[in-house]
């Protein structure tokens, strides 16, 4: 296994950076974590330089990261196939994450509400609701009332993570390629999750 | 030969960019052509993605570009050997460049003064002159008096293109690794050149 230490990967300070498109890199996670995807692109490009992989697997839980990397590979014509690995979940539906270890016992019980909120949005879309803004706001209100600090709970197009057109929402039953993404803090722990519609 | 058209290389607008270190990318050519080395790094990274070369050759006439690319390869751990190709010169010493074709006959005769100015600086250093700023200013004054618009004529360390320490200049006779770089406009044509000391 190649799992370099920070000193191995950065014998010199990393002063060269890969910047993603702002359209993809500055929204959602990029809005709440400025510069985050510059860091992601830079280290992933460097790991690709070290390993020269034919295939690279990234978890779908970090959905936007997966999209940012897919686009990076295309933009730089890298001969690498990017594979998304489905999110693993606990029995109650909570997406597995190292951050779950920071949750108190009561927070751990509450944490499932994030994926449930996403599922509520998915179900509303499948039921034919087309006023996306309204159902997003309702879902945020529910989580906020339970004590969460919500960064976003939103319906997006899968490929570019832009808000879907009304047509796309209406065509949902015929697979318009949407994804519902959420990020919210429970106490001091920030959790993210997503569900493809 | 792989010589892609713009449409082949950019089937989509290039929105992902590679940014070099500002220490190397924002001086000299980067100062007079803001963003230039972002463009260089981005297209070279993409060409490397397309070709996956083991060895890549770049002309030494674009000395700073060669250094920027050398550092890029190191910073991203790319398994590519960067080779600098010595500058080819006309009989009178003018560095060969497609831009020479823009010179009028009288400008073409005058153009050799750029490389002669660089050689004057090199000779001064070899003669033991240590007041670098003074000889740089003198050389700029000579070219300016002949009608050139000088962007820079400067003595730098080869590796990082920073101004040399006084010790480095004094140790020159024992090969301190200096380079003299110049960029100046003759009429509307901007010429660059350099000579390693």
d(CA B133, CA B42): 34
d(CA B48, CA A7): 26
Res A9: pLDDT: 97
- Ranges of each domain in chain A: 6-85, 98-196
Nearest one of B129, B135, B120 to B195, comparing CA atoms: B120
Between chains, do A76 and B17 touch, taking CB under 8 Å as contact? no
Q: By the CB < 8 Å criterion, does A17 face chain B?
A: yes
Q: Are strands A55-59 and A81-85 parallel, antiparallel or unpaired?
A: parallel
Q: By the CB < 8 Å criterion, does A35 face chain B?
A: no
Q: Are B155 and B163 in contact (CB under 8 A)?
A: yes
CATH code of the region B98-196: 3.30.1300.10
Between chains, do A74 and B45 touch, taking CB under 8 Å as contact? no
φ, ψ (nearest 5 deg) of residue A178: -110, 165
Instruction: Assess whether pLDDT exceeds 60 at residue A167.
Output: yes
Between chains, do A19 and B19 touch, taking CB under 8 Å as contact? yes
How would you class A47 by CB atoms within 10 Å of its CB: exposed for 0-12, middle for 13-18, buried for 19 or more? middle
d(CA B66, CA B29): 12
Confidence grade of residue B173 (pLDDT, cut at 50, 70, 90)? very low
pTM, two decimals, is: 0.94
Q: Angle at Cα A126 formed by Cα A90 and Cα A133, nearest 5°?
A: 95
Question: How far apart, in Å, are the Cα atoms of B41 and each of A48, B68, B169?
Answer: 17, 8, 31
Q: What is the pLDDT of residues B39-74, one digit of tens each?
A: 999 999 999 999 999 999 999 999 999 999 999 999
Q: Are A168 and A96 in contact (CB under 8 A)?
A: no
d(CA A161, CA A24): 7
Nearest one of A79, A83, A64, A81 to A20, comparing CA atoms: A64
d(CA B163, CA B85): 24
Average pLDDT, chain A: 95
ipTM computed for the complex? 0.94
Q: Are strands A149-157 and A178-186 parallel, antiparallel or unpaired?
A: antiparallel
> What does the buried/exposed string (b/e) look like for A3-26 if buried means 16 or more CB atoms within 10 Å of the residue's CB?
eeeeeeeeeeeeebbbbbbeebbe
Listed range (A42-46, A63-67, A83-87, B155-159) with the worst mean pLDDT: B155-159
Q: Are A140 and A121 in contact (CB under 8 A)?
A: no
Averaged pLDDT, A85-96: 98
Nearest-neighbour CA in chain B from A7: distance (Å): 13
Domains B6-85 and B98-196 share a fold: no
Nearest Cα residue in chain A from B15 = A21
Joined together, the tokens standing for residue A123 give 């179900």
d(CA A88, CA B160): 47
Average pLDDT, chain B: 95
Residues of chain B in contact with residue A44, where contact means CB-CB under 8 angstroms, are none
Q: What is the pLDDT of residues B95-142, one digit of tens each?
A: 999 999 999 999 999 999 999 999 999 999 999 999 999 999 999 999
**Bigger pLDDT: B161 vs B172:** B161
Nearest Cα residue in chain B from A71 = B16
φ, ψ (nearest 5 deg) of residue B107: -65, -40
Q: Are A80 and A61 in contact (CB under 8 A)?
A: no
Residues of chain A in contact with residue B81, where contact means CB-CB under 8 angstroms, are none
Nearest one of B148, B160, B159 to B116, comparing CA atoms: B148
Listed range (A32-36, A169-173, B115-119) with the worst mean pLDDT: A169-173
Q: Which of B21, B46, B50 is facing A16, going by the closest CB pair?
A: B21
d(CA A179, CA A163): 10
Q: What is the dihedral of CA A29, A186, A110, A106, to 10 degrees?
A: 150
d(CA B105, CA B155): 30
CATH architecture of A6-85: 3-Layer(aba) Sandwich (3.40)
């Amino acid at each position: 296994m190649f799992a370099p230490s920070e000193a191995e990967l950065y014998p010199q300070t990393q002063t060269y950076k890969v910047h993603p498109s702002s359209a993809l890199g500055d929204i959602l996670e990029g809005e709440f974590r400025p510069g985050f995807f510059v860091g992601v692109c830079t280290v992933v490009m460097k790991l690709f330089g070290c390993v020269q992989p034919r295939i690279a697997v990234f978890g779908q839980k970090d959905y936007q990261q997966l999209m940012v990397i897919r686009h990076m590979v295309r933009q730089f014509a890298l001969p690498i196939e990017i594979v998304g690995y489905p999110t693993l979940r606990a029995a109650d539906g909570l997406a597995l994450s190292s951050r779950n270890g920071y949750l108190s016992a009561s927070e751990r019980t509450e944490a499932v509400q994030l994926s449930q909120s996403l599922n509520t949005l998915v179900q509303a879309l499948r039921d034919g609701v087309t006023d996306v803004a309204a159902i997003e706001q309702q879902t945020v209100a529910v989580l906020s009332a339970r004590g969460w600090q919500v960064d976003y709970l939103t319906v997006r197009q899968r490929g570019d993570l832009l808000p879907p057109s009304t047509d796309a929402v209406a065509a949902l039953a015929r697979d318009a390629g949407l994804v519902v993404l959420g990020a919210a803090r429970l106490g001091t722990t920030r959790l993210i999750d997503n569900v493809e519609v």
